[in-house]
Copies of this chain bind each other. A is one copy, B any other.
Amino acid sequence: MEYLIGEFSLVARLSVKTLRFYHEEGLLLPSRIDAVTGYRYYDEAAAGRAAAIRELRALGFSLDAIKEILSRCEDDEDIVPYLERRGEEIASEIEDSRATQRMIQEFLERQKEIQGMNVDRNIVIKELPELTVAGIRFKGKYDQVGKYFGPLMKRAGKYALSGPMTIYHDREYRDEDADIEVCVPVRKALNEGELASHPLAGGRAVTLIHQGPYDTISDSYRKIGAYIKDCGLRASVPSREIYIKGPGLIFMGNPKKYLTEIQVIAVHVDDEASRAS
């Protein structure tokens, strides 16, 4: 029983192109080639080999691997070691895919969280809990903050309870040499190299969500300052900025859409006075 390539293509369930390619590769040879026309003819034995090739391809073996398997094995039991190795390969591929999927999931969840937040553009009074934060403290200019986020998240990311924030330890504004701490709330204290953990006191805070690029944030600070003064309060250090929405993980994003929550813990002047006495 002899087949022309087109007929054999139906039997073997491999395209004519693929059959010619496998011939060229020496993977599946026709049983006979007509010397005059150059036509390829295939037989039953070729059909068996073709079926084996199809099966092995379906299991994800490369053509080279299949060549090796077909040359080395003549019985199903001989391919057991190949299948075992292939199984492990697939397992690790799956593991990789799942890791990628987890990354996507986390990203989407974070995004959803941000989306779901209803943003109040007014001043809000909040009771802040005490936190343990792990951070890197340095003296410098505001725009150096960005450089510290990478190392911070790399080391503390696993233990982070929420997104990163910046703590300003100065009582007043400083252009150069500001005392800045880039940090993140963590589950457990963590000290390693420049990274240091410490408790961060809670309390009643005046908060405001600033929308726009960071270089306009002083407007929002002014609002908070005015509010604090009007209410007869007094700002205590340190103050914090929480990055609700900043330059994304992937994009710089549009600075006009950046959202930064400013939190300044404030106490009544009389309370302070009475406590001081």
Contacts and interface: CB of A to CB of B under 8 A. Distances in A.
Query: Interface majority SS on A: helix, strand, loop or mixed?
Result: helix
Interface residues of A, number: 44
A94 B115 CA distance: 29
Interface string A73-95: 11111111001101100110110
Contacts of A101: 87, 90-91, 94
A87 B59 contact: no
Interface in A207-257: 248-254, 257
Contacts of A93: 97
Contacts of A87: 101, 104-105, 108
Q: Please state the number of chain copies in the assembly.
A: 2
Given A94-B94, A94-B98, A97-B94, A253 B76 contact: yes
B60 A100 contact: yes
Interface of A: 48, 51-52, 55-56, 58-60, 73-80, 83-84, 86-87, 90-91, 93-94, 97-98, 100-101, 103-105, 107-108, 111, 114-115, 248-254, 257
